[in-house]
Amino acid sequence: MTGCDTPVLIAGAGPAGLALAVELGLRGVDCLVVEPRQAPTRLRPRAKTLNARTMEHARRWGLAARLRAAAPLPVSWSQDVSFCTTFLGTEITRFTGVLGLADDGDSPERGQQLPQYVLEEVLRAVVTELPAVDLRLGWRLTGLDAARPGPVRVALADPAGQPVTATAAYVVGADGARSVVREAIGARYEGSAGLRPNTGLVFRSPELAAAAPQPPAVQTWLLNRQTPGMMGPIDRHGLWWLIAFGVDGRAAEFDPQRLIGGALGRELATEVVSTDPWTARMELADRCRSGPVFLIGDAAHLNPPFGGHGLNTGIGDAVDLGWKLAAVLAGWGTARLLDSYEAERRPLHRRVIDEAAANMATLAPELLGDGLDERGPDGDRARAAAARRIAATKRAEYFSADLVLGHRYEDSPVLPGSAPAPGPWASCAAAGRRLPHRWVSPQVSTLDLVSGEHLILTADGGLGERAGRAAAAAGVPVTVRTVAAPLMRELGADLLVVRPDQIVAAAWPAPAGGGPLGSKYDETRFLDTTMAVLGGRQGAETLWTRSH
């Protein structure tokens, strides 16, 4: 190979980079993905939770069932987080229905426990099935030059280390915390790092699976002084993860077997598979874009793992950027679509970092108390006090649907001004919010009505048809769906425009005073609000006249 031209070059095939390749590949957008690792890293499965929103993306891609089939732990296996003195010791309290794993009616999909390496294995297989995606393993991006007009010149190294030059219309850095792309565009992390060292371990103990308490928990917090931390199963065949807080795995006195013994509360036969010292980082890149070059995932933001948001936020980045790149490359998307990537995602990055940092403020060392293992009234009082501390400080970490499903994009150049939302995020549609989930039929969610195009949703078939013609005249691909009037009333709107990422672009409520929605005045206002948002290049009034 002496060079290659591609519309989109993605540096990195971690979860974010692969998600972007899926988003583009399903739309038929050619992209080249370069990844130094020949296989996913299996020894450090840091990210383990796909939240409900990520599973909604997988559902839209047609991959939800495929991911669940690959998961070592079925979603039904555990929906609980337990707080114990040791894993085999006294339970203090537990949360049930955590991390979006419960069917609470807010989503057509439940969250899924899935190690990151399994997710990467599945998505690697998926992108190799997409003709538009060229996945090159063993390749790495070594530099780029986006200063000149025209395509970005990218320096690559092939598996033998030989230099190769490529050009791309757009380059996306999904190359992690040590991003070459971020450095090449002069962006830098801003933020802080935690002072406390932590160490993750993976160990094998088939004996522990038989000894584990019932009902099982997907995570167990360990409130003891020998190993204050948390642990849980990776699979049901004896592979476990453990995080010990305040332990430096690089220190000479580090003793993994002692840590495991303190976590379990008694000695069992165990085999240490890997150790992973780490320190929490709360950092946000000062910008996520430089011209045709973008940053997603860990290349753009780092947050503590508490709450399980990091991987999921990176996949959300890929979805947001993916459909916008596809729209611009197809010719109907405007430059404002690409401008909106930073405007929409950076406030969410900041919120995720802040909430994860707040979750990190209280960990196992802060929850320790005397007498937690004692029998009798004194022990009961100590455990009751600890349970109150846990409820007050940790509940938000595990019940975060407002962040996962209810976040609203504001101050976006492609969304109407941030008027107050008409009601709760779970039921009322509003511009900048995810379309609320409601069952249209027993197997079809409102979210399933969103295909690869924009969706016009209304109970008024005539109005939907006219709005669809106007959108088509603006060059915007749309699907018009007519649903029952009671459903639209429940969503709090008479007409909705929904983006390909299932975010409401515009919500059109019934006119004040009960006037007809289908009047020319109101329809023109609707087009004024939405056509420019969607990428239309002509005035709404002219388009509406032509559509009649």
pLDDT per residue, tens digit, the chain (548 aa), is 444 589 999 999 999 999 999 999 999 999 999 999 999 987 776 778 999 999 999 999 999 999 999 999 888 776 889 999 999 999 999 998 886 555 678 999 999 999 999 999 999 999 999 999 999 999 999 999 988 888 999 999 999 999 999 999 999 999 999 999 999 999 999 999 887 899 999 999 989 988 887 778 889 999 999 999 999 999 988 999 999 999 999 999 999 999 999 999 998 999 999 999 999 999 999 999 999 999 999 999 999 888 888 899 999 999 999 999 999 999 988 888 999 999 999 999 999 999 999 999 899 999 999 999 999 999 999 999 999 999 999 999 999 899 999 999 998 988 876 667 788 899 899 999 999 999 999 999 999 999 889 999 999 998 888 888 878 877 889 999 999 999 999 999 989 999 999 999 988 875 444 444 444 435 555 555 555 555 544 433 333 334 33
Alpha helices in 331-375 (DSSP H): 335-360, 364-367
| pLDDT score, position 355 | 92
| pLDDT score, position 172 | 98
Domain ranges of the chain: 4-72+114-192+283-359, 74-109+195-279+369-402, 439-547
CATH superfamily of 74-109+195-279+369-402: D-Amino Acid Oxidase, subunit A, domain 2 (3.30.9.10)
Domain covering 439-547, topology? Glutaredoxin (3.40.30)
| pLDDT score, position 506 | 86
Element (H, E) at 401: helix 401-404
Q: Please name the amino acid found at residue 472.
A: A
What is the token pair recorded at 533?
């948002």
- Return the beta strands (E) in 256-341 as ranges: 271-278, 281-285, 289-290, 293-295, 301-302
Phi, psi (deg, nearest 5) at residue 170: -140, 145
| pLDDT score, position 513 | 41
What is the token pair recorded at 304?
């503590």
| pLDDT score, position 515 | 42
- What's the pTM? 0.93
What would you report as the CA-atom Rg of the chain, rounded to the nearest whole angstrom? 25
Strand partners, 92: none
DSSP per-residue codes, 84-104: ESSTTS-EEEEEES-TT-S--
Look at residue 9 and give its three-state secondary structure: strand
What is the token pair recorded at 319?
């979805």
Closest CA to 58 of 302, 414, 318, 327: 318
| pLDDT score, position 214 | 75
Is residue 99 left, alpha or beta, with left meaning phi > 0 and alpha meaning psi from -120 to 50?
left
Question: Is residue 215 reached through a cis peptide bond, with omega within 30 degrees of 0 on the bond before it?
Answer: yes
- CATH number for the region 4-72+114-192+283-359 comes to 3.50.50.60
Distance of CA 110 to the CA centre of its chain: 14
- Per DSSP, 186 falls in state T
Supply angle C-alpha 166, 150, 169, rounded to 5. 55
- Return the beta strands (E) in 36-123 as ranges: 49-50, 80-84, 91-96, 112-113
